[in-house]
Amino acid sequence: MTEFRVSRHHDADNRPMLLEHFGLRRPPFEQTADASRLVFPGSRSDFASALLGAIVRGGGFVRIIGDPGTGKSTMCRWLLRKMPPERYPAVHITDPTITPRRIDSALTQVLGMEVTPHDPRQMRARLRDRLNHSVISGERLLLLLDDAHAVPPETLEHLRALGEGIGGAGNALRVVLVGPQELDRRLAHPSMQRLRARIAHDLRLERLGRDDVHEYLHERLRAAGYEGPRIFSAGAIRLIAGLSKGVPARIDALAGQALQTAAADEVYEIHTRDIAAAARAIRLDAGEPRSRLGRLMSLAASGGFAAGAVSAVGAVLVAWRLGWIEPESVQARTAGPATSQRTAAPGGIGTGLPSANWR
């Protein structure tokens, strides 16, 4: 998990300063389990619609595949919040060691059934009978299984059998299997053939593209109460998209760290150099291959100090022409701190600042 580290010349807890400086009700990029703060940029909106459709209109099992940090568990919590509990009583299982007996116990409890816990066979028979008859009344039972790739085979087989209605048709049980790519490999095993046959909806939670990152940052700021002009420059957004690889957890870490530093420095705009500093502060991508700009700078330095200094300037200009960094960053890197273009406002947010549309 990404760890925040505040710059050494700032206080460790500057949340009040951050909120006051940008006119926010709450930190916009704080890691939270609150599904009400979830935003749906671009492809995420399509995913949410497809997921709802699979639950409401479809039958069979649903499989959700996504890389770590893409928001699979958060999407599950959003789904639980979205579905009316009177029509879709739900169970969200996050323990991959869950046993068939514990699943039966959880399902009967959420359905309000009176069963004998010490007689698992009777409990299972009554549960299956309830699920078969609930189809007629229109009731559905939703079971979300997180980390499904690590669940024991006997538990997965039990879910398959539990969701099989009379004559092999489905019943009122809607099962959502959630996991990383490893879940695909797990279900590809020959022993999982019957379970694979029950999967009617296959959804992929993709990483965010550059346009999605742009919208994601804007929506998170707006949801936190921000009403001022643009904070993140176009180049900063490009760099966030590149460094984060489109993973929301990384986007939150980068943007949150950059905002904290901007508030402490009393500035209102964030550029590429600020995102680069944020990445260093949280040690993002440590040990990964260097960026294209970093490789250019290394090549320049290899020519010796004097020649390398001249070449380094050239490398930055080349990177600018290729669109890797912004013109303002070139000015800051080549002319030094005295010509830095970071903008400070004389008053609070909304005073002394020109209006600007989010771009």
**pLDDT for 74:** 85
Q: Helix, strand, or coil here: 179? A: strand
Rounded to the nearest angstrom, the gap between the alpha carbon of residue 273 and the centroid of all alpha carbons in its chain is 24
The conformational region for residue 138 under phi > 0 = left, psi -120 to 50 = alpha, else beta, is: left
* Whole-number pLDDT of residue 310: 42
Write down the pTM of the prediction: 0.71
Q: What is the mean pLDDT of residues 88-98?
A: 93
Q: Which of 93-97, 171-175, 279-283, 305-309 has the lowest mean pLDDT?
A: 305-309
Give the start-to-end residue ranges of the domains of the chain.
43-205
Examine the pLDDT at 116 and tell me if it is beyond 50: yes
Mean of all residue pLDDT scores within the chain? 77
Residue whose tokens read 């109460």:
225
The residue-averaged pLDDT of 211-239 equals: 94
Question: Among residues 348, 347, 343, 342, which one has the least CA distance to residue 226?
Answer: 348
Kindly tell me if the per-residue pLDDT of 241 is higher than 70.
yes
Assigned CATH topology for domain 43-205? Rossmann fold (3.40.50)
Sheet with 61-66, edge to edge strand ranges? 90-93, 141-145, 173-179, 61-66, 199-205
Is the model's pLDDT at 66 over the cut of 60?
Answer: yes
Distance from C-alpha of 312 to C-alpha of 318, rounded to nearest angstrom: 10
Highest mean pLDDT among 170-174, 257-261, 345-349: 257-261
Percent of the chain whose pLDDT exceeds 70: 72
In one-letter notation, the amino acid at residue 174 is R
